[in-house]
Amino acid sequence: MRFSPRRVICATLIYMCAALMAAPAVQAESEKAKIYAPAPAFTLKDEDGKDRTLAEFKGKVVVLEWTNALCPYVQKHYKTGNMQALQKDAHNMGAVWLTINSSAPGLQGHMTAEDVKKGKGQSDSAETAYLFDPDGTVGKLYGAKTTPHMFIVAPNGILVYDGAIDDMPSSDIETLPRATNYVRAALSDLSDGRPVTTTLTRPYGCGVKYKN
């Protein structure tokens, strides 16, 4: 099911109200990512060297996926096709998918644009754009802790999910059939015009390989 205009409007109104209620706490703290607050703006280069911004996708549901191709937890989801299937489901529902790499140069998972282009042919990944964050600025802004670490932004720019891809914190592929996928569930909630049932979970995986 795609995100229908009527359902998107309903979901947007829900999160506008939630954002207004959360506003005082957001102002008292920093501009870092927080559930029911506006998702922090950012600009990052994609594999073609083009600047991509969160703002260019205003009015759409946006999924943010922190990745590290050498992390066994990430490999569990990509080698089985689980992540690619989720990406395609998100696209079919009208969502945007941004994959972000915050691994610093010289550390595990760091990739060049050429590395990414070669890898796409092998992995059949279906993200809207693959973005580079080598200095970790955006990762730290969002509080990305692991790979994978998932975030979902509602059409009005409010952050509505922060956490794990599912409820099986293991690199074992045998856990996938019995896993509850939090991202898919949140997208379904938004598609149906409901508030996201589960908004915050503990992410699992390899620690993001930040510069410092």
pLDDT at 26 over 60: no
pLDDT score of 118: 85
pLDDT at 148 over 70: yes
> 20-24, 41-45, 68-72, 207-211 — which is least confidently predicted?
20-24
Q: Which CATH number among 3.40.30.10, 3.40.50.360, 2.60.40.10, 3.40.50.740 corresponds to the domain 5-207?
A: 3.40.30.10
CB 186 within 8 A of CB 150: no
The predicted model gives 170-192 an average pLDDT of: 97
Strands 129-132 and 206-207, by their bridges, are unpaired
- Report the percent of the chain where pLDDT is more than 90: 81
Strands 62-66 and 96-101, by their bridges, are parallel
pLDDT score of 28: 32
User: Could you tell me the two tokens for 34?
Assistant: 């927080």
Average pLDDT, the chain: 89
Report the C-alpha gap between 132 and 116 in whole angstroms.
10
Question: pLDDT tens digits for 3-12?
Answer: 655 555 555 5
The predicted model gives 166-173 an average pLDDT of: 98
pLDDT at 50 over 70: yes
pLDDT band at 120 (very low <50, low <70, confident <90, very high): confident
pLDDT band at 78 (very low <50, low <70, confident <90, very high): very high
pLDDT score of 64: 98
Asked whether the whole model's pTM tops 0.75, one would answer yes
CB 127 within 8 A of CB 89: no
What residue segments make up the domains of the chain, in order of their start? 5-207
pLDDT score of 59: 97
pLDDT score of 171: 98
